[in-house]
Amino acid sequence: MRVGVVFGISELASPRVFESKASKFLTELSKEFDVAGGFILSSKSDFKKVKAEVNFNDVDALVLYPLTGGTEGFLKEFFVFRRPTVVFGDPFNNSLAAAIEVREYLRERLVPSTLVKNMNELKAALLGYEDALEVLEPFLKMRLGLIGRVSPWLVNERFDLPYTRISLKRFCEYYGKTSDEEGWNAVEDVFEGAVETGEPGKEDLTRAGRIFVALERILKDYRLDGFTIGCFDLIGKLGATPCLALAMFNARGIPAACEGELNSLLGMYILRRYFNEPAFMGNVADFGEDYVVIAHCTAPLLWRYRLRSHFESGIGVGVDVELPNGSASLLKIRGRRAVVAGVEVVGNEHSEDRCRTQVRVRVEDAPEFLDGTLGNHHLLAYVDSEELADLLSELGFEVMLY
């Protein structure tokens, strides 16, 4: 197992005072692990130098050892490598206090982090991470993209994980390089597979297809595992919406979320990567004592569907998908926290006063569930709620299971 090691001292401390302590630590650790690094840092500029010198992306785990207090500001920067991390603290020079602070910073950013205070605990923690790497690696090395901006009404959106930002201007450049012929070819089969087509005409469908082609090229060029797009901004720019493109991507195994929401995208990625299941991202449209209605204008095109316009704007192409009845889960992620509920899909609705895809799910004590959840958008997926909750816990989330 390859382990990256970094020590930290405050700018007020002398490195020479701690050289012997650091050397003994490295010697002991090297008896059982392949050690990389071993630098003593005292500032953010030191971090930048080390980052340029050693690729900590290649280690299996990191060990951060604040030898003194006052080291939190630069040791926390190692979260960018997204490697399982053991933070070592000892009882002297405010080491343990700094270690606790650094560990919490990493955990808030969903980097698996353990606090230890002796060598035996350290070795055990590293071996535990070695056993868990098969589960952790796809999560820690995912590449997610935000195209455009997070929609301004998502007032509870919080996302501290690294992601690739692509401007709306850049997206429009990709869109401008697509043709009407490419657009129609991309959606012709989708049009023919619909049980009904309402408002959208061929021009609307062609624009939706061009959006799909542009997004497909962005995914390839930026090597993304999934993306979210600030979709409402496209209405004014293109006179179109990406609802149909998102539905197509989610049906093809590529997580694609609405409104620039990265937390929902993260949940979609987890459901697809670990369960090979798509997710329906929706608004909470209604609820009663034992039910919740989830609605949105896009959903995976895996079942019977109708092509409609986008609900709020009346333009573009939205989809009304009939999701099948059966056991499922509702998932809401925000930051480090997650809410999971076991539900039963009991039917689809077709109100003209809601987003196009509308699903009713049975939830035990729905008012209590909504009182404890973390915001509006929820993901609906046909997975076992307890298995989902267990996985999320393993990935570092604090999970509330209903």
For 265-295, how does the pLDDT look when each residue is reduced to its tens digit (9 = 90+)?
Answer: 999 999 999 999 999 999 999 999 999 999 9
- The pLDDT confidence band at residue 297, using thresholds 50, 70 and 90, is very high
Q: What is the pLDDT at residue 243?
A: 98
Tell me the mean pLDDT in the region 40-62. Answer: 94
Question: Backbone phi, then psi, for 50, in 5-degree steps?
Answer: -65, -40
Q: Closest by alpha carbon to 298, among 287, 286, 283, 276?
A: 283
Q: What is the pLDDT at residue 184?
A: 98
User: With pLDDT > 90 as the criterion, what percentage of the chain qualifies?
Assistant: 98
Under 8 Å between Cβ of 359 and 286: no
- The pLDDT confidence band at residue 89, using thresholds 50, 70 and 90, is very high
Q: What is the pLDDT at residue 230?
A: 96
Q: What is the pLDDT at residue 361?
A: 98
Q: What is the pLDDT at residue 49?
A: 92
- The pLDDT confidence band at residue 8, using thresholds 50, 70 and 90, is very high
pLDDT in tens, 215-246: 999 999 999 999 999 999 999 899 999 999 99
Tell me the mean pLDDT in the region 335-354. Answer: 97
Report the distance separating Cα 96 and Cα 116, nearest Å.
9
Under 8 Å between Cβ of 280 and 256: no
Q: What is the pLDDT at residue 129?
A: 97
Q: What is the pLDDT at residue 104?
A: 97
Q: What is the pLDDT at residue 90?
A: 97
Those residues with Cβ within 8 angstroms of residue 112's Cβ, 6 or more apart along the chain or in another chain: 84, 85, 129, 132, 136, 140, 395, 396
pLDDT in tens, 161-206: 999 999 999 999 999 999 999 999 999 999 999 999 999 999 999 9
Considering the entire predicted model, what is its pTM?
0.94
Q: What is the pLDDT at residue 355?
A: 98
- The pLDDT confidence band at residue 50, using thresholds 50, 70 and 90, is very high
Q: What is the pLDDT at residue 284?
A: 98
Report the distance separating Cα 253 and Cα 278, nearest Å.
7
Pick the CATH number of 2-140 from 3.40.50.10940, 2.102.10.10, 1.10.630.10, 3.90.1150.140: 3.40.50.10940
Burial of 337 (0-12, 13-18, 19+ CB in 10 A): middle
Tell me the mean pLDDT in the region 136-149. Answer: 97
Q: What is the pLDDT at residue 320?
A: 98
- The pLDDT confidence band at residue 32, using thresholds 50, 70 and 90, is very high
Q: What is the pLDDT at residue 11?
A: 93
Under 8 Å between Cβ of 402 and 323: no
Tell me the mean pLDDT in the region 380-393. Answer: 98
List where CATH 3.40.50.10940 sits in the chain: 2-140
Q: What is the pLDDT at residue 354?
A: 97
Q: What is the pLDDT at residue 170?
A: 98
